[in-house]
Amino acid sequence: MSDSAASVDSVLRLIVDIASVPAPPFAEENRHPLIRRLLSEWARGMPFAVDSAGNVVVWAEGGGRQPPLLVTAHLDTVFPDRSVAITQDDTWVCGPGVSDDASGVAAVLYLAQFLAGRMPSAGRGMILAFTVGEEGAGGLRGIKHIFAVLAGEERDPALETLLPGYAMRLPSAMVAVDGGLGSVVNRGLHVRRRRVSWKGDGGHSWGAAGTPSAIAAAARALAAISRIPARPGHTTVNVGVISGGTGVNSIAAECTADIEVRSVSGARAASVISRIEKIASEAAASAGLSIGVEVLDDRPGGVTRSSARVVKLLESELLRAGVPFSLAVSSTEANIAMAYRVPAVATGVVAAERTHTPDERFRRASLEKGLAVVRNYVSALLE
């Protein structure tokens, strides 16, 4: 067996081990003991710490004093906190979260192992971060915290102790190892998420007949919201969760809906979410109900120019590996870097399918090329 094949087999085992530990948003600490143990084995000589947000952050010293490179992978998944079964055959590795983002976490551990003792003598240092809160209600809270600390907007004793003074500044570039192999995400979507609640008195379906129903008001509002024109590739609206009522013979006292707007335009995202809030408020007022709107997430977008070094070097490595690639638009941790005007991309190390479903899977054979691409790419960014 070749050295590269042995490395791939080791990383495959890492992916299975990581994905087997449930880690929904706000329960990422489930994976902390595993990540700590793996870092002691795979990142020998590299100090690490857990910051106040719950990110596990590693420092790799370079020979120079330039702004550091930041490489991230997120610990959380979209799946609930229950046991996870991972299956494999000669073609596929299957199971919740194996690609998004157990493969990214394993790839960053692989990078730490590869670069231990190999950091360029005149090159920049590197921050490796295993982050929390990337998915869903997490709202990118982990990567937001790291950037706020590096920008001097917040304090974090763990990071201030871990990182040398010259590294406590915005990074030269950021790579989020998250997504599919060949995807070069250089544009971040603007995202607005709201939890809207309609509330009234409710009552018995017969004895309190005529009392306004929160579910009926919500249904009228959501029907109107569904008629907001979608522009695929530009702006989308989604009602992802609805809940309310207590029984078939009760007039609903409350109904709640989680609503998301995504857009390549920050102005358009803000305009559409304002329209949604207006529709919801009007439906409540016309029914004599109260309305509550909770901000779940306001996620900034941004763009890294296609001519930027962080993009061109990745395209070059993908081309050299014979991997078809394309520029892409998505919502990832790279959004936050772009919002701070730091050149950033998100890219993955496996060819994945059925992401965010219990049947999520990736092609085993894609991992070897993916690891080679990210290894050579990050090495070039450190120079």
In percent, the amount of the chain with pLDDT more than 70 equals 98
pLDDT of res. 2:
47
Query: Could you give the CA distance from residue 205 to residue 256 in angstroms, rounded to a whole number?
Result: 20
Structural domains for the chain: 3-188+301-382 (3.40.630.10), 197-299 (3.30.70.360)
pLDDT of res. 5:
56
In percent, the amount of the chain with pLDDT more than 90 equals 91
Query: 153 is written with which tokens?
Result: 């907007």
> pLDDT of 26-77, one tens digit each?
999 999 999 999 999 999 889 999 999 999 999 999 988 999 999 999 999 9
Token look-up 């869903």 returns: 136
SS3 breakdown of the chain: % helix, strand, coil, rounded to 5?
Answer: 35, 25, 35
Query: Could you give the CA distance from residue 317 to residue 179 in angstroms, rounded to a whole number?
Result: 16
Is residue 6 predicted with pLDDT exceeding 90?
no
Query: 116 is written with which tokens?
Result: 């231990």
Length of the chain: 383
Question: What integer is the mean pLDDT of 118-136?
Answer: 92
